[in-house]
Amino acid sequence: MTGVHQVLATLGDGDAIGNEVLGIQRVLRGAGYESEIFVETVAPRLEPLTYGYHSLVDFSRPDNLLIHHFSLGSKVSRTAYALPDRMALIYHNITPAEYFVSYYPALARLCFLGRRELQAFARRCDLALGDSAHNRQELDAAGFPRTDVLPVVPGFSHLDGPPSPLVTHEFDDGWTNILFVGRLVPNKKIEDIIRVFHAYQTRFKPRSRLLIVGSHIGMDRYAGALAHLLDTLGQNNVMLIGQVSNAELTAFYDVADLFLCASEHEGFCVPLIEAFYKSVPVLAYAAAAVPATMDGAGVLFDNKDPMHVAALMDVVLSNADLQDSIVEGQLAALRRLQSKNFDRMLLGFVEQALSSPRVTAPPVTEDFWAQFDADEELEELKITRPSAYRALPEAQ
């Protein structure tokens, strides 16, 4: 039996990539393929569903296909690279390093190295798939010869249960609720959302609040900077909620009057589609994958001046007919997305990767990755310390 296995650095519990990985395995097994998941780290609840990446060698066969979910470079990536199996890569995007330099230099370095390592896989993969058109463009730019799009078609069962009565009781009180959902990470530009909301509340609607829902685990410095901004503005109606349960998330969407997004880098942005599903009008900054994800629906802006965006918010929130029209357009975009047959597209790409002429995999010598690491370090030095780079002797 042909094996179509998945490899990834981390399998999380309940996140978008984790849900996609489990969904892909279900489809592959239903189609008769042997399909396992190999990881470097895994959420405890999902550990029984996976193998450690060391076991890849035991399952490896030249006629197998490895579906490699690439985010950051990892040991599992390098193990898969060296095996004789065919490879298809699914690229979930890596945030550009510059967003983390001021807060998390070590994470910035990982992002920089991950984007560099991605280029090494261009000569290794029989097929490379972006989960959005934006991500496919990055694959094309990195030199992958065969690319396509396997779209994210999120499920919404986590939003179909009863909402948290505590959240509903606290926030369904006649005030205008502005909502953002997403991790507190610098590329999402939470500080810009705060400034826009402050302008809106000051100029247009004093009885309003901003609800920011999402984990800030590992992002304490950035969260601290946001707290300092709130203190500087004297802003008491912005709430950094943190991570929530499905029932609480459902309630936050239920009480929201507007979803506001100022993110500057997204590979897809599932919360936008969740807001569509929950009939919340969306106002979002037109950057990276956001316009494609919204597919002509919602309201996009390309000028981040706080008063400009606040005025747009007021136009939407003060006109019930306009809100209805926006929601109607969002639901139509959602129907277009859900009409895409993910299972059929996935199996089509698998058959394409298995039947197409194999790429000639680059030779992997014993010191290949040591040389690659050295090359990465030189490239990083060239950017961060150009004078030191110029002082190096010429390469042989």
For 76-98, give the DSSP string. Answer: HHHHHHHSSSEEEEEE-----GG
- Domain range list for the chain: 4-153+342-364, 159-338
What's the pLDDT score for residue 1? 79
In 77-136, beta strands by DSSP E: 86-91, 127-130
Nearest to 72 by CA among 53, 46, 85, 91: 91
CB 87 within 8 A of CB 107: no
CB 275 within 8 A of CB 259: yes
CATH code for the part of the protein at 159-338: 3.40.50.2000
Rg (CA), the chain: 23
Longest dimension (CA), the chain: 71
CB 179 within 8 A of CB 256: yes
What's the pLDDT score for residue 396? 45
What angle do helix axes 220-233 and 190-203 make, rounded to 10 degrees?
Answer: 20
- In what side-by-side order are the strands of the sheet with 51-52? 51-52, 37-42, 4-11, 65-70, 86-91, 127-130, 147-149
Q: Which amino acid, one-letter code, is at 320?
A: A
Domain spanning 4-153+342-364: which superfamily?
Glycogen Phosphorylase B; (3.40.50.2000)
Q: Which helix (H) or strand (E) holds 211?
A: strand 208-213
What's the pLDDT score for residue 386? 77
CB 155 within 8 A of CB 19: yes
Q: Do the two domains 4-153+342-364 and 159-338 of this chain adopt the same fold?
A: yes
Q: Which helix (H) or strand (E) holds 227?
A: helix 220-233
pLDDT beneath 70, residues of the chain: 14, 361-376, 378-381, 383, 389, 392, 394-396
- How far apart CA 66 and CA 55 sit, in angstroms, is 13
The encoded tokens of residue 220 equal: 């304490």
Nearest to 85 by CA among 67, 103, 100: 67
